[in-house]
Amino acid sequence: MLRACGIGLALFGWVPLIVPAQPTADGFSLHGRAVDENGRPMAGLQITISDDKWKAASDPATTDPEGLFVFNGLGEGQYILGAILHGGTVFYHELPNSDDVVTTPAGPKQEGSQVLFRVVPHAVVTGFVRDEFGDPAAHAGITLFQGGWQDGRVVFSVVQTADTDDRGQYRIHGLHPGAYAVCAAVIPNPNGANAPGAIAPQPGIVDFQAHEARYYQRSCVPARPPAFFVLESAQRVQKDVVLAAARAFSVRGRVTNIPSETGASVSLARDDGLSVVPEPRSTGTSLARGTFEFEGVEPGRYRIEASVSTATGGTPLRWSGRQTVQVEAADAGEVEIALEPPARIDAAVHNLPSGAPADAVGIGLRSTAAASWTRWAQTAPDGSRDFESLEPGTYWLQTRTNGPLCVESVKFGGQEVLQGTVTLTAAEEARLDVAVSTQCAAIDGTVVSQGKPALLARVMLLLSGTAESPGDTFMSISGDDGKFSIVGLAAGRYLLWAWSQEELGFTGPPSLSELRNRGTTVVLTRGEHSAAIVPLFRSGVVQ
């Protein structure tokens, strides 16, 4: 079973005894004191409590004039505390750059102790968006995003979006401490690429014959990468944005090898890792003859993807194709994208113990292309697994298990690919043979910083690939003693890194390759636990 302790809900300790022990006849009690950011008691505050499945464990408690609250009749376990502040919820010990919350234990060891709950308002980012003339850009789209680790690389994910009002002002609230970046763009017009709102005006007399279309660019383009800033608890930061206008071009082309009469769907997205930010004018056209055209495309590198779904024998199949286009100082015409039929993989799991649930083994594929997500095999009621409509290409193999299982071998075309890749050609029908075992290895590790245990550290295990080209990775988090445990592993050689989860800036290195010589190597033997001491890496804000 590949799993870790403390994912999503971090375990945390409690402060020494302050109030007398008050065990109740039918459960344990959890005492606490709510204070504001200056340590002053907060009276009349509602405190909620949920179990670690987010189910309410009791009715909310209300703090007394000293900020004290208590929940009685609790079972032994971990609980999530929240405070209702100005209509929003502030959770106990929110972690920077994360939606994870820290749980609070209740049980015999905690009877009589008191949790100190610092109820700090969430941070706010506000600002104005203006055009090149200094006028407010009303109804511009704002994207607030963060960098984070996924699949062994830093990806940018949208935290919140907002629109500017008629004054060009925006406000994004409810933010945890961390490192953020703001990107502004004129919102795409659903009616087409030629969205008037995105067209920059021209002062003076406009000449139709000499006219060159200028469009407002989004504020974070490759030439002006987003500037990350650190937001502390309760902080209000103003980030104003000026939208620049620039000459824009068109991208035209056609889709070939369309398997049906249905027009293909064509999308255009930036190939710069910031595709999470809405494209101002990425509303492509899919014409009956298979041609497409995008207007108002500013210089940059783009990924054009085309697909069409067709039903063969009642089974929907997705034909697809993609092309990368560099737009510089001219229109890009005659881009041709040939659709290819999808591949299919049937997967068989061997040595599965009788009675093992259907979700005991998960098999995933992630394209080796830069921006891609993992697809997991579908499991039928009879236990068979398959991947349908896979785009031709090369994929990293990923496996996950539940229960006392680990994946020891995966064969693809007779070759071992457990820690490697599989390559699929158009219309290929392939097979994966997955062998599981109960003789699994495990890592019992400790994250240390300056010789001391490092609590709440993010731990990354590299299961396949290299630091320069990560394949399958697994993330865990250390507990309040710096310890972590990852089980359900096959025998082999692995690399581990750990970095702080409590830094305000972006947590982690910019890439694993930066730490390729600083990983902790652990060699696992079948059926045995191995210890690992992993030094903590500290980092700053991604620039």
What are the distances in angstroms from CA 16 to CA 20, 32, 75, 83, 116? Answer: 11, 12, 21, 22, 10
Interface pick for other proteins out of 60, 259, 273, 404 (rule CB under 8 A)? 60
DSSP letter for 541, please.
Answer: -
Q: Does 289 sit near other proteins (CB under 8 A)?
A: no
Which are the contacts of 415, defined by CB distance < 8 A and separation ≥ 6? Answer: none
Contact in structure between 405 and 488 (CB atoms under 8 Å): yes
Q: Does 59 sit near other proteins (CB under 8 A)?
A: yes
DSSP letter for 321, please.
Answer: E
Region from 16-24, 56-64, 493-501, 521-529 binding other proteins, contact rule CB under 8 A = 56-64
What are the distances in angstroms from CA 375 to CA 151, 363, 386, 476? Answer: 12, 8, 11, 21
Contact in structure between 163 and 143 (CB atoms under 8 Å): no
Amino acid at 493: R
Q: Across 501-542, where does the E strand assignment appear? A: 520-524, 529-537
Six-digit token string for 463: 């299961």
Whose structure tokens read 């820290």? 102
CB-wise, 198 or 467, nearer to other proteins? 198
Q: Does 168 sit near other proteins (CB under 8 A)?
A: yes
Which residues, 22 to 51, sit near other proteins by CB under 8 A? 46, 48, 50
Using CA of residue 395, residue 222, residue 141, residue 252, what is the dihedral sign? negative
Which residues, 85 to 124, sit near other proteins by CB under 8 A? 85-89, 121-122, 124
Region from 78-86, 357-365, 394-402, 471-479 binding other proteins, contact rule CB under 8 A = 78-86
Q: Does 167 sit near other proteins (CB under 8 A)?
A: yes
At its nearest, how many Å lie between other proteins and the CB of residue 62? 8
User: Would you state the torsion angle of the CA atoms of residues 184, 188, 193, 195, taken in this order, to the nearest 10 degrees?
Assistant: -90
CB-wise, 171 or 518, nearer to other proteins? 171
Q: Does 453 sit near other proteins (CB under 8 A)?
A: no
Region from 160-168, 361-369, 446-454, 500-508 binding other proteins, contact rule CB under 8 A = 160-168
Interface pick for other proteins out of 173, 322, 411, 529 (rule CB under 8 A)? 173
Sheet holding 291-297, edge to edge: 291-297, 249-256, 332-338
Contact in structure between 386 and 378 (CB atoms under 8 Å): yes
Q: Does 373 sit near other proteins (CB under 8 A)?
A: no
Q: Which of 201, 379, 339 is nearest to 257 (CA)?
A: 339
Q: Does 65 sit near other proteins (CB under 8 A)?
A: no
Region from 167-175, 257-265, 318-326, 450-458 binding other proteins, contact rule CB under 8 A = 167-175
Tell me the per-residue interface mask from 205 to 224 with other proteins, x by CB under 8 A, - otherwise: xxxxxxx-------------
At its nearest, how many Å lie between other proteins and the CB of residue 59? 4
Binding site for other proteins (CB under 8 A): 46, 48, 50, 54-56, 59-60, 84-89, 121-122, 124, 133, 135-136, 138, 165-168, 171, 173-174, 194, 196, 199-211
